[in-house]
Amino acid sequence: MAKEILCVVEIDENKIKKSSIEVLSLANKIKELEGNGTISAVVLAEEPQEFAKELFNYGAKKVYGGKSPSFKYYRTQPFVKTIANLINSSGDIDYVLVPGTGNGRDFAPYLGAKLKAGVIADVIDVEKAEGGLNFIRPCFAGNLLYWGKFNDSGVKILSVRPKAFPMPEKADNTGEYVELSVDIKEEEIPVRVLEVMKETGKINLQDADFIVSAGRGIGGPDNLKIIQELADTLGGAVGASRAVVDSGWISYDHQVGQTGKTVKPKIYIACGISGAIQHLAGMKDSKVIVAINKDP
Ligand SMILES: Cc1cc2nc3c(=O)[nH]c(=O)nc-3n(C[C@H](O)[C@H](O)[C@H](O)COP(=O)(O)OP(=O)(O)OC[C@H]3O[C@@H](n4cnc5c(N)ncnc54)[C@H](O)[C@@H]3O)c2cc1C
């Protein structure tokens, strides 16, 4: 039986990241399978209260806000310290759900070590099992699935693969907002954020409905303009295989696959890509896959 399912929320450019809202869907599923549990969320930001209403609307009954200028950007130590303090002082939180983004993948194991709690990473589904729940995650580049189970009653930490769960339904809800006491001194944080460089004018690969992706088979960097033109025409984004990135034809942030991004567009057009398992690991859940290739 779950008492409280805490969802860790990531803020980017003053907005809640979509992957954090999806985490609330897994929380709902855990609550249904466990038969009970309160769904809560925690936001650490300069003005966390601004995000509470949206989280209530997506199903959180309680929102904890940690307010500090030190939370402007994610950094491991202050985030882990504040959320570990919340979990330790609450005593009711038994699940902690973290979006499986770059920051979430940094946060979840560190929190697990701090709390001496188990972590299952990259969860894509959950099902009822004897004496608890089984959490499902891909392994071996997505070729096998793994069923994992926690074997004690302590805090259970899960990171949740972006796009694995749908956005929960939105309704006009209210809930309880709890302000956390924050014990962070900027001079004690070992990392400073000096500059954040943003890409401009590009569609985020992970949010794109249409992706046109280039592989080595396009022949050279000059032909990328054809790929870009098709992506622009569809209102989509440009992806790439690792071969293209390693050849320096396009930057790493376009790479799709095991060591790149995981995407799930409505249509994925792979141009001159062989479909190595490491590439498939990042795009095989696309709704429709079109391969343009001389090799049938
Ligand atoms: C640990 C590890 C992690 C990796 N992670 C990733 C990852 O995240 N993402 C990733 O993409 N790869 C990854 N790789 C590399 C992966 O194994 C492949 O080497 C890579 O995906 C191949 O890229 P490609 O399909 O563009 O090139 P190739 O394998 O060279 O394929 C080129 C394709 O183009 C076709 N082609 C050639 N000429 C034409 C033409 N004129 N018209 C149409 N088609 C043509 C060919 O038939 C072929 O299918 C990883 C590898 C390892 C070991």
| Ligand 1 lined by 273 (C-beta under 6 Å) | yes
Among residues 272, 271, 267, 295, which one has the least CA distance to residue 283? 267
| Ligand 1 lined by 263 (C-beta under 6 Å) | no
Q: What is the pLDDT of residue 262?
A: 87
What is the whole-number distance in angstroms between the Cα of residue 272 and the centre of ligand 1?
8
**What mean pLDDT value characterizes the chain?**
94
What is the whole-number distance in angstroms between the Cα of residue 278 and the centre of ligand 1?
9
CATH no. for 4-188: 3.40.50.620
How many CB atoms are closer than 10 A to CB 177?
16
CATH no. for 205-292: 3.40.50.1220
Contact 45, 11 (CB under 8 A): yes
Residues 6+ apart with CB under 8 A from 89: none
Among residues 243, 293, 242, which one has the least CA distance to residue 269? 293
- The residue whose CB lies within 8 Å of the most ligand 1 atoms, and thus the one to mutate among 252, 262, 274, is 274
Domain with CATH 3.40.50.1220 in the chain: 205-292
| Ligand 1 lined by 296 (C-beta under 6 Å) | no
Residues 6+ apart with CB under 8 A from 26: 97, 123, 126, 158, 160, 165
Domain with CATH 3.40.50.620 in the chain: 4-188
* Position in ligand 1 atom list of the atom nearest CA 215: 26
Rounded to whole angstroms, the Cα distance separating 264 from 69 reads: 35
**201 — pLDDT class (breaks 50, 70, 90):** low
Does the structure show a pLDDT above 80 at 190? Answer: yes
Q: What is the pLDDT of residue 84?
A: 98
Helix (H, G, I), strand (E, B) or coil at 157: strand
